[in-house]
Amino acid sequence: MSERKTNQKRTDYIAAIIATHGGTQENYSRKELREVSDSHGWKWIPNWITHDKARRVCRGTFSIPEAFIVTETPEEVTEELVATVAAHVEQHVGTEPMPV
């Protein structure tokens, strides 16, 4: 049951990134993620982003491909779409660190 809650928290944070930054990029700076957390009432940037070495692009920049959604209008971004993209990324992204 905790796995479902964790997945929901991740999905919620990804949705918040898209809502804040429009889902137009894959890499986010610590400052941009701080804006997401602050604007949605969270104290911190989640550890699943900051402590995952595979997500680190360079110092202070993190890869979050789940938050990169190309759509015609922001209204097309739904929680279901975010969850679908997140599931796709989990299936196809390995655990190896990204090349820098």
- Expressed as residue numbers, the domain containing 39 is 2-92
CA distance 100 to 93: 16
Residue 13 contacts residue 55 (beta carbons within 8 Å):
no
CA distance 43 to 36: 10
Q: How many domains, the chain?
A: 1
pLDDT computed for residue 100 by the predictor: 36
pLDDT computed for residue 55 by the predictor: 93
Classify residue 97: in a domain, yes or no. Answer: no
User: Residue 27 contacts by C-beta under 8 Å, 6 or more apart in sequence?
Assistant: 57, 61, 62, 63, 64
Beta-bridge partner residues of 27: 63
Q: Print pLDDT tens along the chain (100 aa).
A: 445 566 888 888 998 898 888 888 899 999 999 999 998 888 999 999 999 999 999 999 999 988 887 655 556 666 777 677 666 655 544 444 444 3
Classify residue 17: in a domain, yes or no. Answer: yes
